[in-house]
Amino acid sequence: MEDYFKRNHSWEGIQNEELPTDKPFVLIDRNQNVLWKSGDIVEQTVIKTAFPSSLKEDSQRIGMLYVMTPTQQQIYVVKNTWGQYMYGIIALASLLGLSFAIILILLLSRTLTKPINIITEKIRKYEQGDSTINFQMKRNDEFKKIGEALESMKQNIKDAETARKSLVSDVAHELKTPLMIIQGEIELLHIQQKTITNEKYESIFNEIQRLTTIINDLLYLSKLDARQIEIIKEKVDLNDVFEQLMQKTQFIFKKHHAEIIFNKNDVKTIWADKDKILQVLFNLVTNALTHGQTTSKVMIEADNNQNETIISVTDNGVGLSSEDIQFIFERFYRGDESRSRQTGGTGIGLSIVKAYIELHEGKIEVESQVGTGTTFKIYLPIP
Ligand SMILES: Nc1ncnc2c1ncn2[C@@H]1O[C@H](COP(=O)(O)OP(=O)(O)O)[C@@H](O)[C@H]1O
Ligand SMILES: [Mg+2]
C-alpha cells in the first residue's frame, strides 16, 4: 500500500486495487477517513481489535492499516454470535430451570403432604382423647424428629396430668384430716351436751390453724407457679438479716433449749430480696429444730467465693436418710408422716425455700448424715 501511495502520491483509487489479503482489514488516511476495507466486520470493530501498522512515505505518516489475525477474527465471531443468541439462551435456561423447579416442588410437596397428613390426623385423634396414639414415625428424616418431639410432649402432658391428680389428692387429704378432727370434737361436745374445755378448745383451734396454714401455703405456691411472686434483689446488710432472724426464732429456740450461732466470716452484705431470704432462713432454722429432734445447736455460716455468697444452716439433729434427701424439696413431702404431723408441717416449707432460691438464680444443696445432723447450703450469685 505504501508502494501504491508512492506511485500515485495519493490514495485515490486504491479501492479499485486487487485485495491484497483474505484477512479483514481497514485502511485509513491521516485524517482518519476510511479508504479501503475488506470483510464484513464493522470498521470500528476492526480498528479497535486488529493490529495497527502505520504507513509511511519518507518517514511521513500517510495512513494506518489495521489487519485482523485469524485468532482475532475467531474471537470476534464468537463474541458476535454469543451476543446475538445470549438472550435466547438465557431465556431458554430460565424456562428450563423454572419448569424443573416446578416439577421438583410438585414432587416434594407430594412426599411432604403425606406425612403431614398422617401427623395431623394423629394430633386430631389425640385431641379427641385417644391417649394411646403413638406419634413415632418409621422414617429417617425430619418427620421422624417431629414425631419424637410430639411423643415426648405427649409424655410431658401425661406427667403433668399425673402430678396434678396427685396434687389434688394430696391437698384433699391434707384438708380432710384436720376437718375430720374438728368435726369429731364438735360432735362429741354436742352429744355429751358439754361446754368446751380449754383442752378441747386448743385442739380445735390448732386444727383450724393448721388448715389456715395449709391453705395459705397452697395459695402462695400457686402464686409462685403463676410467677406472680417477684423478687427485688438489693444489697442487704447480713447483720440485719441475722438480727431479724433471731427475733423471729427466739421463742422456738427457747422451747427447744437450743442455741444459735452466727458466723459471718468476712461477708458484710449479700445480694438478695431481704424478706424472702429471711423466710428461707426461717424455714431452714425451724426445720432444724422441729425435724432435727435432737438439735441443740444451729449454726448459720456465710462465706463468699469468687462469684457467689454461700449461706449454710447446720444442725446437730437426727439427720436425713438418703431416701428422704431425694424428696424433701417436693411439695407435701414429709420425712416421717406421723412425726411431721405432730410438728405441724405441711411439707411445703422446703419447696418454697427452693423456689425462692431459684428466683434468686441461686441453688440449694443438702448434706446430711443420719445421727449427726444436716446442712443446707444456699448459693446466691454476686452480680
Ligand atoms: N433439718 C432437718 N433435719 C431433719 N429432717 C429435715 C430437716 N429439714 C427438713 N427435714 C425433712 O424434710 C421434710 C420436708 O420439710 P418441709 O418442706 O419444710 O416440710 P415440713 O416442715 O412442713 O414438714 C420434713 O418433713 C422433714 O422430714
Ligand atoms: Mg418446714
pLDDT at site 72? 87
Band (254; pLDDT cuts 50, 70, 90): very high
**Does the Cβ of 317 fall within 6 Å of ligand 1?**
yes
Closest CA to 66 of 22, 25, 105: 25
**Per-residue pLDDT tens over the stretch 70-129:** 888 888 888 877 777 778 888 999 999 999 999 999 988 888 888 889 999 999 999 998
**Does the Cβ of 352 fall within 6 Å of ligand 1?**
no
Stretch 42-67: mean pLDDT, rounded?
Answer: 89
**Does the Cβ of 287 fall within 6 Å of ligand 1?**
yes
Element (H, E) at 305: none
**Does the Cβ of 274 fall within 6 Å of ligand 1?**
no
Q: Which residues contact 372 (CB under 8 A, 6 or more apart)?
A: 316, 319
Alpha-carbon 38 to chain mean position: 76
**Do the beta carbons of residue 123 and residue 150 sit within 8 Å?**
yes
The SS3 call for residue 20 is: coil
CA distances for 188 relative to 87, 179, 183, angstroms: 105, 14, 8
**Do the beta carbons of residue 367 and residue 315 sit within 8 Å?**
no
**Does the Cβ of 373 fall within 6 Å of ligand 1?**
no
Say yes or no to pLDDT of 341 above 60.
no
Q: Which residues contact 269 (CB under 8 A, 6 or more apart)?
A: 235, 236, 237, 238
Domain ranges of the chain: 2-68, 158-225, 234-381
Q: Which of 54-63, 100-109, 217-226, 291-300 has the lowest mean pLDDT?
A: 217-226
- The gap between the terminal CA atoms of the chain, to the nearest Å, is 94
291 Cα: distance to centroid of ligand 1 (angstroms): 6
Whole-angstrom distance, CA of residue 354 vs CA of residue 365: 10
Atom 21 of ligand 1 has which residue's CA nearest to it?
A: 345
**Does the Cβ of 345 fall within 6 Å of ligand 1?**
yes
Superfamily holding 234-381: Histidine kinase-like ATPase, C-terminal domain (3.30.565.10)
**Do the beta carbons of residue 370 and residue 318 sit within 8 Å?**
yes
Show the cell assigned to 247.
Answer: 427475733
Query: 158-225 architecture in CATH?
Result: Orthogonal Bundle (1.10)
290 Cα: distance to centroid of ligand 2 (angstroms): 8
Stretch 36-41: mean pLDDT, rounded?
Answer: 87
Nearest ligand for residue 318 CA: 1
Whole-angstrom distance, CA of residue 62 vs CA of residue 55: 6
Whole-angstrom distance, CA of residue 38 vs CA of residue 67: 10
Strands 373-381 and 308-315: antiparallel
Nearest ligand for residue 289 CA: 1
Nearest ligand for residue 351 CA: 1
Say yes or no to pLDDT of 170 above 80.
no
Atom 6 of ligand 1 has which residue's CA nearest to it?
A: 291
Whole-angstrom distance, CA of residue 170 vs CA of residue 180: 15
**Do the beta carbons of residue 275 and residue 356 sit within 8 Å?**
no
Question: Could you tell me which residues are beta bridge partners of residue 304?
Answer: 309
For the CA atoms of 44, 47, 50, 55, the dihedral, rounded to the nearest 10 degrees, stands at 150
Whole-angstrom distance, CA of residue 275 vs CA of residue 303: 20
Atom 3 of ligand 1 has which residue's CA nearest to it?
A: 292
Task: Please give the angle made by the CA atoms of 102, 121 and 128, to the nearest 5 degrees.
Answer: 155
Alpha-carbon 262 to chain mean position: 40
**Does the Cβ of 374 fall within 6 Å of ligand 1?**
yes
Task: Please give the angle made by the CA atoms of 22, 28 and 31, to the nearest 5 degrees.
Answer: 175
- % of the chain residues with pLDDT over 70: 97
Say yes or no to pLDDT of 310 above 90.
yes
**Per-residue pLDDT tens over the stretch 202-234:** 888 988 888 888 888 888 888 888 888 889 999
Band (343; pLDDT cuts 50, 70, 90): low
Mean pLDDT of the chain: 89
| Residue from 328, 339, 356, 377 whose mutation best tests the ligand 1 pocket (most atoms within 8 A of CB) | 328
| CB-count burial class (<10 Å; 0-12, 13-18, 19+) for 88 | exposed
Atom 2 of ligand 1 has which residue's CA nearest to it?
A: 288
**Does the Cβ of 375 fall within 6 Å of ligand 1?**
no
Show the cell assigned to 267.
Answer: 461477708
The SS3 call for residue 360 is: coil
